[in-house]
Amino acid sequence: MSDSVAPKAYEQFASQFDAKFGGFGGAPKFPRPVTLNFLFDFYGSNPESKDGKHALEMSIFTLRKMAEGGIHDHIGGGFHRYSTDKFWHVPHFEKMLYDQAQLAMAYLNAFQITRDPLFEKTARDILDYVRRDMADKDGGFYSAEDADSLLAAGKPEHAEGAFYVWSKDEIDRVLGAERARLFDYLYGVEQKGNAAEDPQGEFKNKNILIQRHDFADTAKKFGLSKEKTKQLLDESRKLLSGSRAKRPRPARDDKIVTAWNGLMISAFARAYQVLDDPAYLEAANKSADFIQQKLYSAKTNTLLRSYRQGASEVNGFASDYALLIQGLLDLYEASFDVSKIEMAMKLQQRQDELFRDVKQGGYFSTSGADANVLLRMKEADDTAEPSPNSISALNLLRVGYRLDQNDTRQRAEETLKAFAKQLEAAPSSMPQMLVALSWSRSKPKQVVIAGKADDASTQAMLREVHRHFVPHEVLILADGGTGQQFFAERVEFIKNVTQTDGKPTAYVCENFVCQLPTTDVRKLGELLVHPSAAVKAPATTSR
């Protein structure tokens, strides 16, 4: 495969980029977070290049416009399925779990890189919506909320977006004059409605909230301090949320899908790392426990596809295995519970047994056990969800570099090779596979922290690791106990990892050849961002 594949994909996305409103292509506009994953990775691999910087600019601008747009539920949180117009204004109002998970990850990446509070706020907005409205009491996450709902309780009439749109009179009544003037200005509320593109007349005299002005401009226009402006807007959203809660809610698809919960586990695990909020780690662990208890058979080491008032009889597809394995790998890096890696390795073995194409490489979507499936297909395109092959290639690389397993890395290479022709011909159709390709061609870092998980200095080092966007990195905690023993049994180097002078110590390595270990948090940051400037440790600290 040529080195021009990733630059070719970048050029394709750059040619489609809407520099005025964000996104790629015209209406309808879909978020397609896999595109953002590629662009962030492309930037992270080429941070000083013109193209790398432009990849970041396209991602950041798109995420900002989406956060401001009507596709974002400014009152209740989360994102609708797609925008029917080029402005991100009038959405198809359905909310999908897989969108919430992937967009939360994108906003977390954006916050990690820019430290812009908007991106933290938007990530929390998504995650808190999922915890509040899409979580089963036992920890699993539901699949979706419908686009339409009843116009009034007890009456049959319903309409798309009925739960989400507002008349100006209703907003004025709920908020009162002072708050309403401020709110209407910021969110573009108009007496006749604000949906400029409404060919069916569905939103006449209705407003789909969209941020028309920035926060500073709004404060200035009304002669208010930023603090007072924030207070009034927070109060307004809370009041409108209370009013909206009295409306009939859209129907909810309360099916719990293994693959989509895998995506959500990844999002909550990453949120705990980046935002240091224990509630998010708890949510990730509860979902993982739910899947293991309700949708996994330890006897056969097999997953089921979904749960609704009991487990379905449908066996898991390749996507269920791949996305749950990804979630468990992410959850280890948040919790350092090695049972999560052990579970991921078991599932990877089972995925290989059920779905792997031993001759041609890659993974079939189905196991071949169903006689009704005459032709087994391999999903390759990364669309609204990443393909199981893209995620599997990345999972194998992450495990291979974490546990120094050449055979695992080789299976990843075989997967990439299986789709080489499509990657060469149409790389923008497989942006998540390009992330895996980038991993395979880079020198992924092993970041090993020697220290007790509950030690304040260890936590400070972990926060420093999570502060930086490092696209190709695996994180290991050498805790001096069972966690370290798990890795030491598989990687000789880990046996020799110790604290320095009794202080938690960081080792930043490539292929387990490490820079000089450090107990200094600031130095750790420099090693993560500028490793070439560091000095390598003597051979005694490498394999």
pLDDT at 542: 37
How many angstroms separate the CA atoms of 315 and 296, rounded?
A: 10
User: In the predicted model, is pLDDT for residue 183 greater than 70?
Assistant: yes
What tens digit of pLDDT does each residue of 314-367 get?
999 999 999 999 999 999 999 999 999 999 999 999 999 999 999 999 999 999
Report the DSSP pairing between strands 252-253 and 144-145: antiparallel
Question: Residue 244: pLDDT band by 50, 70, 90 thresholds?
Answer: very high
| Average pLDDT score over residue span 450-478 | 97
Report the DSSP pairing between strands 445-450 and 473-478: parallel
| Average pLDDT score over residue span 436-454 | 96
What tens digit of pLDDT does each residue of 42-95 get?
999 999 999 999 999 999 999 999 999 999 999 999 999 999 999 999 999 999
What tens digit of pLDDT does each residue of 418-442 get?
999 999 999 999 999 999 999 999 9
Question: Residue 534: pLDDT band by 50, 70, 90 thresholds?
Answer: very low
Instruction: Answer with the residue of higher pLDDT: 178 or 24.
Output: 24
- In the chain, what percentage of residues exceed pLDDT 70? 97
Question: Residue 511: pLDDT band by 50, 70, 90 thresholds?
Answer: confident
| Average pLDDT score over residue span 498-522 | 94
pLDDT at 537: 46
| Average pLDDT score over residue span 487-495 | 95
Q: How many CA atoms lie within 13 A of 175 on its CB side?
A: 25
Domain with CATH 3.40.30 in the chain: 443-543
User: Are 100 and 134 spatial neighbours (Cβ–Cβ below 8 Å)?
Assistant: yes
Residues 6+ apart with CB under 8 A from 70: 80, 83, 87, 88, 89, 90, 91, 208, 209, 210
When the pLDDT of each residue in the chain is averaged and rounded to a whole number, the result is: 94
Give long-range contacts, CB 8 A cutoff, 24+ apart: 221-228. 221/185, 222/181, 222/182, 222/185, 224/182
Question: Residue 535: pLDDT band by 50, 70, 90 thresholds?
Answer: very low
How many angstroms separate the CA atoms of 224 and 90, rounded?
A: 30
User: In the predicted model, is pLDDT for residue 524 greater than 50?
Assistant: yes
| Average pLDDT score over residue span 467-473 | 96
| Average pLDDT score over residue span 498-504 | 96
User: In the predicted model, is pLDDT for residue 120 greater than 90?
Assistant: yes
- In the chain, what percentage of residues exceed pLDDT 90? 90
Question: Residue 262: pLDDT band by 50, 70, 90 thresholds?
Answer: very high
User: In the predicted model, is pLDDT for residue 541 greater than 50?
Assistant: no
Of the options 3.40.210, 2.30.30, 3.90.1570, 3.40.30, the CATH number for the domain spanning 443-543: 3.40.30
Question: Residue 543: pLDDT band by 50, 70, 90 thresholds?
Answer: very low
User: In the predicted model, is pLDDT for residue 221 greater than 50?
Assistant: yes
Residues 6+ apart with CB under 8 A from 116: 110
User: In the predicted model, is pLDDT for residue 302 greater than 70?
Assistant: yes
Q: What is the CA radius of gyration of the chain?
A: 24
Tokens representing residue 466 in the block: 């999570």
